[in-house]
A and B are shown apart, each in its own frame.
Chain A
Amino acid sequence: MFYTLVIIGILYLLLIFLAGWFFERKLSGSTFRPWMPYVYALALAVYCTAWTFYGSIGRAANSGLSFILIYLGPTLALFLWYPVSKKLFRLKNSQGISSLADFLAARYGKSQALGALVAMLSLLGILPYISLQIKAISESFSFLAQADIKSSSSTADPALYVSLLMIVFTIAFGTRYVQGNRPKAGLIGTIAFESLFKLIAFVVVGIIAIKSFVKHPQFDQAWLNFQSLSLDAEGTEWMSTLLISAFAFMLLPRQFQMGIVENNSERNIAKALWLFPLYLLIINLFILPFAFMGQVLSPEVNSDFYLLSVSKILSGDALATLAFLGGLSASTSMIIVSTLALGNMISTYLLVPYFAVKNKPATKRIINLRRLAIALIIILAYLYYHFIALSNSLVSIGLISFVAMSQFAPAFLGGLYWRDAKRPAAYWSITLGFIIWFYFLVMPNLAQISELNYWLNSPFSAANIAARMGLSTFSAASFLSLGFNAILFVFLSLRLNSSIEEQNQALLFVAADKFGTKENSPSLYRGTAPFPNMKALLVNFLGSHRTEEVLERYARLNNINWLSSPLADGRMITYAERLLSETIGPASAKIMIASVVQKEELSQREVLDILEESKKVLLLNKELSKRSDQLKKATEKLQEANDKLLEFADLKDEFLYTVTHELRTPLTAIRSQAELLQDDPEMPEADRQMFLDNIVADCDRLTRLISNVLDLEKFESGNQKLSLTKVQVGDLIRNAVANYQAMALKQGIDLACDIDDSLKGTYADADRIAQVITNLLGNALKFAAADGGVVRASAIQLEDSVKVSILDNGNGIPAADQEIIFDKFYQVRDQTRRKPSGSGLGLAICKNIVQMHRGKIWVESTAKGETCLCFTLPQYTKNPLKS
């Protein structure tokens, strides 16, 4: 069993490393973004440690239902936790906060001393709790392996190796970035994984154990015990436990780390509101059953190990091993996160100011100091476990830590919601709270160990004071420490004054949810710093790569060109201070910034004005972006309209250009010939006559062109009206053909018409239709074959229209051009070619006339390769305009 456990334990720890590596690579991408709220809620369950696995069962066996209080406390406190977490999430980003010590130091005037106090007291309060986890690992191992490993030799203790591995893991996945407040995907992913693992392990072990216990002969005994479960409890005991665990849930370093520091999105918080209590409910379902099973199955065993003993008795080693692994995962996740959080505080307030700030570059140094702190804490916790007997049960050591962390509650909540909370008040009230805590909860243990019997028996001993108050030592310690702490805090806050810097921070913190985060948080600096100095400072603490990155981003967001304005303004300084704060904490950051900036103090009035302004800007920004969206849409529409207009304008230009060209050609001939006549009075009569004739012909051409352009303009602008009368289309064709007959004879063209006898009359504008027929006939005569030319004009009656066709045996129209010959100056398509003659507008006018009659006009090619221009007119039996 010993070696099996060792191997399985090693495999599990390997799995954690694999998980860390996997999540570090995968979880930061966008694929997992929808899952982040679940990961976050699971990571919050780092709250459930080995205490839940072993200690709660022990407590349930000894004192009934009261174990549930430390889970009920956080559940009830979620209503307070929700707004607090949202506010803290914003402050984390806008102030560069990476731990509770950072928060309190920043809030109370960026105080180095306060940060250091918080860091030391946290270490004092949490260290026994970490060693409790190591103890749980060691003892659960010993219990299952049935070997007293701790006393045999220290190198045989698996807890030593687990501790060392925890150092490696915490350093590998917790100190990846120099910014303490940057979420680490590998860490949060692994912790969530461990939470899920311990939940599943507990549930599986619980279900299997209960299933086999139902058939067990001692089931009835346990059932009887269960029915007589004592529900009596001291009201004060319940109250103090609820209160303390509620505070601890917010203030424990591991909860602050997972709930605030590692959180990457505000929306995670809302989901945790129901996921986290659900988790607590499920994991607590089996605690009472195990307590009662343990009492009847293995009464001789320490009640803290009922989970292991019961699962072993009921289902053998395999199930017990699973229970052990669940406990291991609960312990390791607590060790990792607590150590990381404490390590950040210790290094930021006790190591970095003395060992890193003067180094250049400091980035590597800072990370290394953090790693050193982490290693030291775990080693200390191990030594504490190894050399100082932990006589108390698992639960009581945990509760002692809870009371210790609760001492930060008045300063913490006051800092968030009360502008008048003052630094010395925080400092002294925390100190007082810890003194009372120490006197009531630590002293009795120390006294017992060192056999200080005269103190234990004196009326001033913790137990005797508590007894006189009618309370348990725990309740007395909780009420007295928290009570005096809070009273002193309020009293001093009301009596003392604070520096302007602290007042400003108070304003920023209390009103945190009214301002934006990050780059657009309000600046409370007046004055400037030379940009190169500011940059050098950042490079020292962030590294040059990251510095370039953030400065570039800042410049882009604020439209700043560093080259043209080498002075960092107040907002830039605020931004830089936040960046520094992320790596070295707010107190050191303030000192560093002060080294490059000559700062002017702002009065409280001015600060209020700035904050008011910032709030307005935020509102204005929203309004502006709404407006800008509307404007953008309008602009798009305008652009579209403009494009259309331009297109029309282009067409108009093109038209004018072509018309001008067409007008210039006859004008040129007229002018040139007139000049000849003018300059040469002795011109032979024949030549003179020819030029004069030509001039007249060119003038006719000009006139025709102009009237065509005007016609077309009338049609296209809609000014042309039709006057419909009853028309016999056949007659119109016969007339037109008769008019052209003389010309056709002259050119040797065979011109004839072929009119359908069944042609009915229709309503149309007779003059306009005659114009169309004349035009088409004229074209046909022009294009008919030069030798043996034939032109035919025909009309047939269709069902609801009259179809007119004008056919010639000329060269025909290329298929590609058949659509566009009805366009104005269709030669426009190929600017430099031109049809043999004509204004280029005739067919366009025809098309307009036919379309106004709701007819169609098109080109047909006959089988013999002849060209036929056809149009239809709708058949009306009465005037459609007079209906």
Chain B
Amino acid sequence: MSSKILIVDDEINILMSLEYLFKRKGYEVFIARNGTEAKALVDSSSPDLVLLDIMMPDVDGYEVCQYIKAKENAPKVIFLSAKSKKSDEEKGYEVGADLYLHKPFSNKEIVQKIKELITSP
């Protein structure tokens, strides 16, 4: 059974690009355009990993992450953000993220990191 990835971003172009990428790598992909959608999808489809943007129009990424990490058997969370301050990254880890990656990213790097995270116990 293939692993499930939820991608959350309000930038439609980024969303489409990542969806295409991971589908081709054989993952089962869900997408959400805002925090509220993301929460609902986490509940309904229990992904193994969430790729999470921070700046979104309704609920921000930190809050979504806390919501995710409060669940039993919580999926891994990777923040994917253009927020570049050291303090942004620290806050990301504080709310329970497994990884904080900066935008712009390289597709190869993300694929690599996700492989490491999902196969690790």
- Chain B neighbourhood of A687, CB < 8 A: 20
- Chain A neighbourhood of B106, CB < 8 A: 671, 675
For the complex, what is the distance from the CA of A546 to the CA of B105, rounded to whole Å? 73
Is B83 located at the chain interface by the 8 A CB criterion? yes
Select which of B14, B56, B103 is within 8 A of A834 by beta carbon. B56
CB-CB under 8 A for A672 and B104, given A832-B54, A834-B55: yes
CB-CB under 8 A for A672 and B17, given A660-B84, A661-B82, A665-B11: yes
For the complex, what is the distance from the CA of A512 to the CA of B102, rounded to whole Å? 77
A661 B17 Cβ-Cβ under 8 A: no
For the complex, what is the distance from the CA of A664 to the CA of B83, rounded to whole Å? 9
Contact with A along B62-87 (1 / 0, CB 8 A): 10000000000000000000111100
For the complex, what is the distance from the CA of A607 to the CA of B61, rounded to whole Å? 79
B103 A665 Cβ-Cβ under 8 A: yes
B107 A676 Cβ-Cβ under 8 A: yes
Stretch at the interface among A132-140, A690-698, A716-724, A736-744: A690-698
Is A217 located at the chain interface by the 8 A CB criterion? no
- Chain A neighbourhood of B60, CB < 8 A: 832-833
CB-CB under 8 A for A668 and B104, given A676-B17, A687-B20, A690-B16: yes
Contact with A along B4-39 (1 / 0, CB 8 A): 000000110110111011001000000000000000
B62 A832 Cβ-Cβ under 8 A: yes
Give 7 A-B pairs besides A675-B106, A833-B60 with Cβ atoms closer than 8 angstroms. A661-B83, A694-B13, A832-B55, A832-B61, A833-B58, A834-B10, A836-B57
For the complex, what is the distance from the CA of A616 to the CA of B61, rounded to whole Å? 70
Please count the residue pairs between chain A and chain B whose beta carbons lie under 8 angstroms apart in the complex. 80
B85 A673 Cβ-Cβ under 8 A: no
Select which of A665, A694, A831, A834 is within 8 A of B16 by beta carbon. A694
Is A870 located at the chain interface by the 8 A CB criterion? no
- Chain A neighbourhood of B62, CB < 8 A: 832
Select which of B54, B56, B61, B105 is within 8 A of A672 by beta carbon. B105
- Chain B neighbourhood of A661, CB < 8 A: 55, 82-84
Interface size class of A (residues with CB under 8 A): 20 to 34
- Chain A neighbourhood of B85, CB < 8 A: 657
B57 A833 Cβ-Cβ under 8 A: yes
A831 B55 Cβ-Cβ under 8 A: yes
Is A787 located at the chain interface by the 8 A CB criterion? no
- Chain B neighbourhood of A679, CB < 8 A: 107
3 cross-chain pairs, A with B, having the tightest CB-CB distances, nearest first: A832-B60, A664-B82, A669-B13
- Chain A neighbourhood of B24, CB < 8 A: 680
Within the complex, the shortest CB–CB distance from B102 to chain A, in Å, comes to 8
B104 A671 Cβ-Cβ under 8 A: yes
B55 A698 Cβ-Cβ under 8 A: no
Within the complex, the shortest CB–CB distance from A234 to chain B, in Å, comes to 101
For the complex, what is the distance from the CA of A287 to the CA of B67, rounded to whole Å? 103
A672 B21 Cβ-Cβ under 8 A: yes
For the complex, what is the distance from the CA of A531 to the CA of B72, rounded to whole Å? 70
Within the complex, the shortest CB–CB distance from A775 to chain B, in Å, comes to 21
For the complex, what is the distance from the CA of A831 to the CA of B85, rounded to whole Å? 12
- Chain A neighbourhood of B108, CB < 8 A: 675
For the complex, what is the distance from the CA of A660 to the CA of B82, rounded to whole Å? 8
- Chain B neighbourhood of A691, CB < 8 A: 16-17, 20
Q: Identify the closest chain B residue to A827 (Cβ).
A: B55
- Chain A neighbourhood of B61, CB < 8 A: 832
B55 A672 Cβ-Cβ under 8 A: no
For the complex, what is the distance from the CA of A673 to the CA of B105, rounded to whole Å? 11
A672 B14 Cβ-Cβ under 8 A: yes
Q: Identify the closest chain B residue to A830 (Cβ).
A: B60
Within the complex, the shortest CB–CB distance from B5 to chain A, in Å, comes to 15
Is A435 located at the chain interface by the 8 A CB criterion? no
For the complex, what is the distance from the CA of A687 to the CA of B24, rounded to whole Å? 13
For the complex, what is the distance from the CA of A694 to the CA of B12, rounded to whole Å? 10
- Chain B neighbourhood of A667, CB < 8 A: 103-104
Within the complex, the shortest CB–CB distance from B11 to chain A, in Å, comes to 6
Contact with A along B103-116 (1 / 0, CB 8 A): 11111100000000
Q: Identify the closest chain B residue to A679 (Cβ).
A: B107
CB-CB under 8 A for A675 and B107, given A664-B82, A680-B24, A697-B13: yes
Q: Identify the closest chain A residue to B63 (Cβ).
A: A832
Within the complex, the shortest CB–CB distance from B93 to chain A, in Å, comes to 16
- Chain A neighbourhood of B13, CB < 8 A: 666, 669, 673, 694, 697-698
- Chain B neighbourhood of A670, CB < 8 A: 104
Within the complex, the shortest CB–CB distance from A653 to chain B, in Å, comes to 10
For the complex, what is the distance from the CA of A813 to the CA of B108, rounded to whole Å? 42
